Structure formats: C-alpha cells, structure tokens
Amino acid sequence: MIRITREDFSVDEVLGRLRTGNMGALVTFVGFVRNKSEGRGVERMEIECYEDMTLGQLEAIREEALERFGVEEVTVIHRYGNLNVSDKIMMIAVGAAHRAEAFDACRYVLEQIKGRVPIWKKEVTPEGDFWVEGEGP
C-alpha cells in the first residue's frame, strides 16, 4: 500500500493490515521530526510534496522492491503539511519470508525515497525557516 496524507497514522494498524501467514519477518522504519537539526532548535516542520508524482514514484519504488528482493509486501506512508516535534513523518513496512530480504528491501525503499520522490522538508526554527538540503541526484 502507498499513501500520502496530512493526518497522523497508527503503526499498529498499518502492520495489522500488512501481515499475512507468509511472513516470517516484518521490518519497519519510522521517521520522526527531531527537535534539533544542524545545531539549531527545531520548533516544527512543514512538508511539501508534488502529490501526483510522489504517488507515481512511490508506487514504482514499491514495485521495484517487490521484484528485486522477492518480499511479500511493501507499505509506504508519508505525511505532508504541518508537523510538530516528535510527529511521525513517514513509515516503511516490509513483510517477507525471511529477515535478510526484509531489511534489504526496507533500506532500498528508504534510500530511493531520499533520492527521487518529490517531497521537501522545511524546518521552522527560532533563527528562521530552513529548507532541508536534498540528497537527491
């Protein structure tokens, strides 16, 4: 499943929906808003995305992960809009028969998101607002 949303989500609910009897391993990654970045205090975060393209890219990455690593299922949820410190930003969950391919696929999905999914974070700090520099191509 692929989802982008302004709302918070429940990790338990996502995992509950993902799990099947074929899965001996379930690896999750959850990213949060930190209260510090580059030595500055962060008050909150604004996340912007190009919605149509983000959904297309996430779906493509999911398909690649399924094919490359032979995992059972991949779920990605990414939030946008206004987030506070400690809020969940995104979650990746990979269900697989065994742990090795689940870990590998989860990392692959995360690195691909950081490189090619059109989402941008802006940190709001007491010293001003700063766009997070992308790691992309």
Partner 1 sequence: MIYFALFREMAGLSEEEFHLQEGSTVEALVEAIKVQHGPLGGVERILVAVNGEFAEPGETLVEGDVAALFPPVSGG
Structure tokens at 64: 């690649």
Instruction: Pick the stretch among 12-20, 63-71, 98-106, 107-115 that binds partner 1 (CB under 8 A).
Output: 107-115
Work out whether 134 is an interface residue with partner 1 (CB under 8 A): yes
DSSP state of 22: T
The nearer residue to partner 1, 22 or 84, going by C-beta atoms, is: 84
Among 40, 88, 107, 122, binds partner 1 (CB under 8 A): 122
Among 23, 25, 97, 120, binds partner 1 (CB under 8 A): 120
Work out whether 118 is an interface residue with partner 1 (CB under 8 A): yes
Work out whether 32 is an interface residue with partner 1 (CB under 8 A): no
Work out whether 78 is an interface residue with partner 1 (CB under 8 A): yes
SS in 3 state form for 94-110?
Answer: EEECCHHHHHHHHHHHH
Name which of residues 87 to 106 contact partner 1 (CB under 8 A). 89-90
The nearer residue to partner 1, 39 or 136, going by C-beta atoms, is: 136
Output the CA torsion 88→30→74→17 (10° steps). Answer: -60
SS in 3 state form for 117-134?
Answer: CCEEEEEEECCEEEECCC
> Rounded to an integer, what distance in angstroms lies between the CA atom of residue 46 and that of residue 61?
24
- Count other Cβ atoms within 10 Å, centred on residue 5: 11
The residues binding partner 1 (CB under 8 A) are: 31, 47-50, 52-54, 56, 78, 89-90, 110, 113-122, 131-137
